[in-house]
Amino acid sequence: MDKNKVKLSFETYIKEADKIWFTTYDHNGLYCKRSGNKDAVLVGIVPYERRYALRLYASMKKYGNNIFLVPFFANEIAVYNTVSKIFTKLPLKKIDEFGQKKLANENAKFWCSEVYDGFLFLLPHNYPAMVIINMRTLEINYVSNFINELELQSVNNEAYITDVCVENGIAYCSCGCAQIIVKINMKSRNVTICKIPICGNGFNGILKLGTHIWLTPRIKGGVVCYCIKRNTVTLYEKYPDGFTASYVPFHTLYQCEKGIILFPNLSDQFILLNIKTGEMENIKHVSDLISGDKIEDTYGFDNTMAYSIDGKTISFMSGKDYSFYRVNIDTGEFYKTEFYTTNVYPQKRFLSLGNLSLWECDLIGESEPFDSCMFIEYIKERHRLRNDEDKFLGAEGKEIYAKLVGI
């Protein structure tokens, strides 16, 4: 491999006939890779966002010529017009405008989103409202009345909504902080809270099959099958030999011919769950693809990202080596694709260290020397995000700081 090329990773993308669009996992960048081209092209850096941070955007949708980037650790919604090549930023209300909420956080805003009739629904992870965007006019509306109920029923400090599946205009959402399913009528905007009659620590993935809803655990425990008609649950917790996961074992669930596939998050197994017998089986030829150690310059926590299923083929980005796999579930035959760019920008000058840096970006590691201009840019960005000049005690410190951010 050309040493000047940089390997890219992503957890959200848009596939079109001759190209794919994606935002990178470990820095600020919107990329496009066309069919037949070896490398991806850096389309643009989203303005007024951190340049070096993990999972700024966890979801993206396209409507007409506009690509909507849904913020996770980013500050604002970003809209990129593929014709004018211009970013438009849509600021959000501050969380304190919704009143005091114990689970609300300026970070980890929205994990998933859905499009319905020209409107984009941003489902709150730790942002205290569902945000609905008119994708034609870019007008924003907020629905927050159901958040208080989620907080009241919360059993932990996890997310409001962790996953979604849509059927006939109804969005069924798993709740990470409580034993609840949130039902959203996407036409009327009405929200209904459905309590699941089982003790636990919230849910992460969700799949609706007829009159049953399947849910994966948020923290630990078994897979839940909820019968809507009878208001009863069945718990499946006999995982295959060798299964380990202390937290968020699975991203989500997908139906296939043989049953349900559980896509791993922090667990190291792709699991096939037989709906009729309840037996769980490790899909070993797929699990083996994520069984190794992380390679150098991979910064994610999840074992899989950018996951999907199409018939007998499952697709995912490996968090271990930043390779994109397409695997036949039955035969084990797989195709491996790696995404590279020759752009200079993605050089990782700031390396996230631990949870504090992930959330606050205050700790930086120097992976290579950087000049004073780069350092000043960092100071300016922190000032813009937190307006923290008062942290510089004393008149001399404030004067130095004023000179730095004024350059």
At residue 49, the pLDDT reads 93
Same-domain status, 139 and 208: yes
At residue 305, the pLDDT reads 92
At residue 393, the pLDDT reads 39
Residue 153: give its domain's CATH number: 2.130.10.10
Is the predicted pLDDT of residue 120 greater than 90, yes or no?
yes
Q: What is the mean pLDDT of residues 24-28?
A: 90
Is the predicted pLDDT of residue 322 greater than 70, yes or no?
yes
Q: What is the mean pLDDT of residues 250-262?
A: 95
With 0.75 as the threshold, say if the pTM is over it.
yes
At residue 398, the pLDDT reads 58
3-class secondary structure for the chain?
A: CCCCCEEECEEEEEECCCEEEEEECCCCCEEEEECCCCECEEEECCCCCCCCCCCCEEEEEEECCEEEEEECCCCCEEEEECCCCEEEEECCCCHHHHCCCCCCCCCCCEEEEEEECCEEEEEECCCCCEEEEECCCCCEEEECCCHHHHHHHCCCCCCCEEEEEEECCEEEEEECCCCEEEEEECCCCCEEEEECCCCCCCEEEEEEECCEEEEEECCCCCEEEEECCCCEEEEECCCCCCCCCCCCCEEEEEEECCEEEEEECCCCCCEEECCCCCCEEECHHHHHHHCCCCCCCCCCCCCEEEEEEECCEEEEEECCCCEEEEEECCCCCEEEEEEEECCCCCCCCEECCHHHHHHHCCCCEECCCCCHHHHHHHHHHHHHHHCCHHHCCCHHHHHHHHHHHHC
Same-domain status, 315 and 345: no
At residue 38, the pLDDT reads 84
- Could you tell me if residue 62 is inside a domain? yes
Same-domain status, 23 and 130: no
Question: 332, 363, 380: which is the final residue of a domain?
Answer: 332
Same-domain status, 231 and 100: yes
- Could you tell me if residue 28 is inside a domain? yes
Q: What is the mean pLDDT of residues 209-224?
A: 95
Same-domain status, 192 and 294: no
Give the total number of structural domains in the chain.
3
* pLDDT mean across residues, the chain: 86
Q: What is the mean pLDDT of residues 109-118?
A: 97
At residue 364, the pLDDT reads 41
At residue 385, the pLDDT reads 44
Residue 22: give its domain's CATH number: 2.40.10
Q: What is the mean pLDDT of residues 370-399?
A: 51
Lowest mean pLDDT among 150-164, 280-294, 311-325, 391-405: 391-405
Q: How confident is the model at residue 291 (pLDDT cuts 50, 70, 90)?
A: confident
Q: What percent of the chain has pLDDT over 90?
A: 71
At residue 374, the pLDDT reads 54
Q: What is the mean pLDDT of residues 3-29?
A: 90
Is the predicted pLDDT of residue 152 greater than 50, yes or no?
yes
At residue 352, the pLDDT reads 37
Q: What percent of the chain has pLDDT over 70?
A: 83
Q: How confident is the model at residue 185 (pLDDT cuts 50, 70, 90)?
A: very high
Same-domain status, 101 and 188: yes
Q: What is the mean pLDDT of residues 236-256?
A: 92
At residue 367, the pLDDT reads 41
Q: What range does the domain containing 173 cover? A: 96-235
- Could you tell me if residue 370 is inside a domain? no
Same-domain status, 321 and 344: no
- Could you tell me if residue 369 is inside a domain? no
Is the predicted pLDDT of residue 379 greater than 80, yes or no?
no
- Could you tell me if residue 365 is inside a domain? no
